[in-house]
Amino acid sequence: MACRECELTCMNNFLALRSWLFIILSILVAMMLTILPLPFWAGWLRPLWVPAVIFYWALALPDRFSLGAAWCVGILLDVLLGTLLGENALGMMLAVFVISKLYTRIRLFPMWQQSAIIFMLSLCYLALLFWMQGLIGQPPLSWQFWVPAITTGCLWPWIFILLRDYRRRFAIR
Amino acid sequence: MRLAVLVIVSIALMIVDHQYHYLAQARSVLTTVISPIRSMVDAPARLINWVEINVSQQHNVVTENAQLRAEQLMLRAKLQSLMALRQENDQLRALLRSSTKVGGKVLVAQLLAVDLAPFTRQVVLNKGNRDNVFVGQAVLDAYGVMGQVIEVSRSSSRVLLITDSRSAVPVQSTRTGSRAIAAGQGVTNDLQLLFVPDTADFQVGDTLETSGLGKRFPVSYPVGVVSEVSHKAGERFSQISVYPSAHVDSSRQVLLVWPAESVN
């Protein structure tokens, strides 16, 4: 009996680790895309890769991908981008909190409605960043700061489908 | 509740990071964790560079070599006259009993081909703690002052460019010697001279160099050229725009400068 239970927990731990590995891999790719050098005119058009990937995992695996994980990814994103430590963490965490309350409904929406939700979430995320930057006296001074929300919303169907197939292919739970 | 705790922790972190410098160690460690990502993104650019170097034809290499030798000869000749001038300068200063500066150490660094947050003007270099880079160190490129180091980790460091809104460089005009502070705007590539009264003498085309005040930047390095001077009636200060001499957006190699020893 005890042997069987032990086996089950072992397998669960192994599955958890495996899932985390795949999730971390997708986040790594998103981070690489975030710092990929783009031509000057395209710099502002870059979608919010890391937030989008985090939103997907928060939607698909709300039990596994919780607030703490979102906060850690936010801290790493801060270090990657050179912003104030905790800024992206706060934004990411609040967005994931919103998703964790609404994920049952969002999952059932048609794709265009999901894109709209993601667009609004990205706007809130950017608004939080804007507020933090404003509080420390360095507000982004151009309207192009908000364009990434639009591009993230537009690219959301592809990101969603890509990550969904990735999740199904590798049976990430 | 977990959300409340994490929110409070985030806000505390932001306050500490902004006001104090206790988090520099932690940030440095996290940057070392992140550095593989930066290296992976920089790798294609380096690979292309490597292929270019190794595959270029011998003929091109020979021509380039000849050109570089000729240029080196010319620069050496110019250097001779500069050395003579410098000696004369030192002697005159000694006569006036003021302190002289002996040239400090320099190190060449390369920019990593990564982009940081778009609303700040920062770049990442491939030299860090193990090359004795320190926070506050001046960074120059071949044409002028580029910025200063604001964060150092083991093998990379972050530089705040002079065009960022947080940067301010003490400058003086080469023509008149009047001093001012050139602050970055963040959005555009121009610098603005802060708090310059209408009576100060700045004209379009004046070159500005570092004044050495504040001891952050070495003295007499070119910062920029005045591109626009406007006096608004009723305002106490003029609006003076400066175009930086350094190729802020396109330089890939920069110099890190150590402060010169001062001899009295």
pLDDT recorded at residue B249: 81
Q: Could you tell me whether strands B144-152 and B191-197 are parallel, antiparallel, or unpaired per DSSP bridges?
A: unpaired
> How many whole angstroms separate alpha carbon B201 and alpha carbon B184?
21
pLDDT by position in tens, chain B (length 264): 778 888 888 888 888 888 777 777 888 888 888 888 888 888 888 898 888 877 777 778 888 899 999 999 889 888 888 888 888 787 777 666 544 444 678 888 888 877 777 777 889 999 998 999 999 999 988 788 999 999 899 889 999 999 988 899 999 998 888 899 999 988 788 899 988 888 888 889 999 999 888 888 888 888 999 999 988 888 888 889 999 988 888 878 888 888 766 544
Whether the model pTM is above 0.90: no
Q: Give the helix/strand (H/E) hosting A49.
A: helix A49-60
Please list, in sequence order, all residues whose beta carbon lies within 8 angstroms of the beta carbon of residue B232, skipping any fewer than 6 positions away: B239
**For the segment A65-115, what is each residue's pLDDT rounded down to a tens digit?**
888 889 999 999 998 888 888 889 999 999 999 998 988 888 888 999 999
Positive or negative, the Cα torsion across B168, B202, B93, B142? positive
Task: Select from B6, B41, B117 the Cβ nearest to the Cβ of A32.
Answer: B41
> How many whole angstroms separate alpha carbon B37 and alpha carbon B263?
45
| Complex prediction ipTM | 0.72
Positive or negative, the Cα torsion across A75, A78, A80, A82? negative
What would the two tokens of residue A86 be? 């905790």
Please list, in sequence order, all residues whose beta carbon lies within 8 angstroms of the beta carbon of residue B239, skipping any fewer than 6 positions away: B192, B228, B229, B230, B231, B232
Rg of chain A taking only CA atoms, in angstroms: 17
**For the segment B214-256, what is each residue's pLDDT rounded down to a tens digit?**
888 888 888 999 999 988 888 888 889 999 988 888 878 888 8
Please list, in sequence order, all residues whose beta carbon lies within 8 angstroms of the beta carbon of residue B102, skipping any fewer than 6 positions away: B260, B261, B262, B263
> Which residue, chain included where needed, has tokens 């940057």?
B31
C-alpha atoms less than 13 angstroms from C-alpha of B100 in its C-beta half-sphere: 14
| DSSP assignment string, B185-197 | -SSSS-EEEEEEE
Q: Give the helix/strand (H/E) hosting B244.
A: strand B237-244
- Maximum alpha-carbon separation in chain B: 73
Minimum distance, in Å, between the CA of residue B133 and any CA atom of chain A: 18
Please list, in sequence order, all residues whose beta carbon lies within 8 angstroms of the beta carbon of residue B109, skipping any fewer than 6 positions away: B125, B126, B127, B139, B253, B254, B255, B256
Q: Exposed (0-12), middle (13-18) or buried (19+): which is A155, by Cβ within 10 Å?
A: middle
Q: Are A99 and A55 in contact (CB under 8 A)?
A: yes
pLDDT recorded at residue B263: 44
With vertex at residue B117, the alpha carbon angle to CA B114 and CA B122, rounded to the nearest 5 degrees, is 65
Asked if residue A160 has pLDDT above 90, the reply is yes
Minimum distance, in Å, between the CA of residue A75 and any CA atom of chain B: 9
In angstroms, the Cα distances linking B4 to B7, B10, B219 are: 5, 10, 50
In angstroms, the Cα distances linking A120 to A87, A161, B47 are: 19, 19, 40
> Best of B3, B5, B10, B27 to disrupt the A interface by mutation (most A CBs within 10 Å)?
B10
Task: Select from B13, B37, B115 the Cβ nearest to the Cβ of A86.
Answer: B13
In angstroms, the Cα distances linking B168 to B164, B186, B256, B258 are: 9, 11, 18, 19
Looking at every residue in chain A, the average pLDDT score rounds to 88
Q: Where would I find the beta strands (DSSP E) of A42-159?
A: none
Q: Answer whether B116 sits within 8 Å of A90, measured CB to CB.
A: no
> How many whole angstroms separate alpha carbon A97 and alpha carbon B10?
15
> How many whole angstroms separate alpha carbon A141 and alpha carbon A24?
33
> Best of A77, A80, A94, A142 to disrupt the B interface by mutation (most B CBs within 10 Å)?
A80
A141 touches chain B (CB under 8 A): yes
DSSP 3-state of A27:
helix
